[in-house]
Structure 1
Amino acid sequence: MKNKYLVVIPAYNEEKTIKEVIQRTLPYADIVVVNDASKDKTAEIVKSFKNVVLINHPKNTHIPQAVLDGMQYAYDNGYDYILTMDAGLSHKPEEIPDLLNAPECDLVLSYRGEKKHTPLYRKVLSKAATTFINIALWRFQLTKPIPAFKDVTSGYRRYSKEAVELLLKRESKAKSFDFLTESLMFIYRNNMKIIEVPITYEFSNSSLNKKVVKDSISMLLDILLHNRK
């Protein structure tokens, strides 16, 4: 029987961790790795796993297109749910069942209950992003209470087929990590069901990236000043 769950793993220069990520993820779901024009041996390592699908990008497209290409593969191949996760072991594959077994809904957000070795600036940035985005979501639907999502910047998520279809139909304006917020907004504004589950977050070198900070700040300003449509 075909697995109804697919894990999509965007990867860029993750040769140090991708093998372990795949090995620890395979017991739970099928896997697609989207190699976003890595310059190291990421693609070669993924190819060594015969039961893992590899999508290669000839040039780096950043997070949005990598995730969307994985979603398109999942949609075309009839998967009911897709999970997205980090290739650098920030997300523990052993917690995949927590997302898979969550109640039926369109989006499962993971919130980082336990944050190991996470710098203070990243904690502050994540908290600020979540506060601003909750307010921005409320401005779309003023008749509802202000949302109280705990963490909107975690990429460890579960999307339903219906949510995937919605995101594939919409034109994404996201450039990088702001895709996480943009996709949440699309799903929320279409009155789809969203729930949250706690995870353990292990800060890793792959997530220590100046671009994360830059994109997050840009995203916050965009949402606050323009309430992105």
Structure 2
Amino acid sequence: MNGRDEYILVIPAYNESATIREVVQGALRHFDTVVVVDDGSSDDTLEKLLDLPVTLRQHPENLGKAASLWNGMQVALKLGAKGIVTMDGDGQHDPADLPQLLMAAQIHPDRLVIGSRLWNRDAIPKARYHANRFANFWIAWASGQAIEDSQSGFRVYPAQLIRLCQFKLSRDRSFVFESEIIIEAARHQFLCAFQPVQTTYPKNARPSHFRPVKDIVRITRMVFWRLFIRGFFLSGLWRSLSGNQSLKPRKTLDVC
């Protein structure tokens, strides 16, 4: 493996028949290996991909996004990935931004690179924007670093980080996983870097599975418990308020 071949893309998919094919076709322009994990879809998500050169995995039932991501990551590790890129299958993440994320990961191989959407406030539903900002504060505190977008699933994980992490996965904690892994990454000395990306909400996409109030409550509970067992980690709060992990300006990260 060398260059972009060192990175493998993982896409979790649950009832994404309206968007998944276009997303995967866009991703294949930038990756030699794309892993799609169908999470027990009841529509024809899987059938949309059968003629494309992708690695497919299918859950017999809906296990949740966390399980889809984690299982896809394990496949990527077995295939020899140096870094694991994740993006959603609903069209929210633009495959055209993938080269920017890859370049950021190559420049910062020891960072968890996250595609930050919050710079473009007008593109994000108001409830989501405020829920995200609320979650950012708590996750920044618990991880001891500035956090721009804790809920973006558009990421590049160093393979070594995934090998070090262990999680208890359950369907009702699916949207806790991507927050918890930021905290776990910091515990293993993998800080975050944020690359601005575009975000869209296609009209033909299925309704979002993210529930701003319910899922943010679960995330806050997880973070509170982690803070509690660390004596509320006041040094982490200080670092979160004084740091900046942004990779701006965007134009410095050219297409690879």
Q: Taking structure 1 as the reference length, what is the TM-score of the superposition?
A: 0.88
Q: Which residue of 1 aligns with 2:89?
A: 87
Q: Which residue of 2 aligns with 1:192?
A: 190
1:1-229 to 2 correspondences below 5 Å: 3-29=5-31, 30-49=33-52, 51-102=53-104, 103=107, 104-112=109-117, 113-115=119-121, 117-138=123-144, 147-167=145-165, 170-173=166-169, 175-204=173-202, 205-206=205-206, 208-209=208-209, 211=211, 213-224=213-224, 227=227
Aligned-pair distance for 1:219?
Answer: 1.1
Distance 1:171 1:228 in 2: 19
Greater share of strand:
1
Greater Cα shift, 191-200 or 120-129: 191-200
- Between the two proteins, the alignment pairs up a number of residues equal to 218
Instruction: Give the letter for the 1:171 counterpart.
Output: F
SS at match of 2:60: coil
SS at match of 2:189: coil
Greater Cα shift, 5-14 or 116-125: 116-125
Deviations 1:99-125 (A, max 9, x none): 100112231012112255422111100
Distance 1:209 1:67 in 2: 15
In structure 2, runs of 5+ residues without a counterpart are 230-256
Q: Is the 8 A contact 2:67 2:169 kept in 1?
A: no
Distance 2:207 2:227 in 1: 27
In structure 1, runs of 5+ residues without a counterpart are 139-146
Distance 2:151 2:223 in 1: 14
Distance 2:27 2:164 in 1: 26
Distance 1:58 1:92 in 2: 29
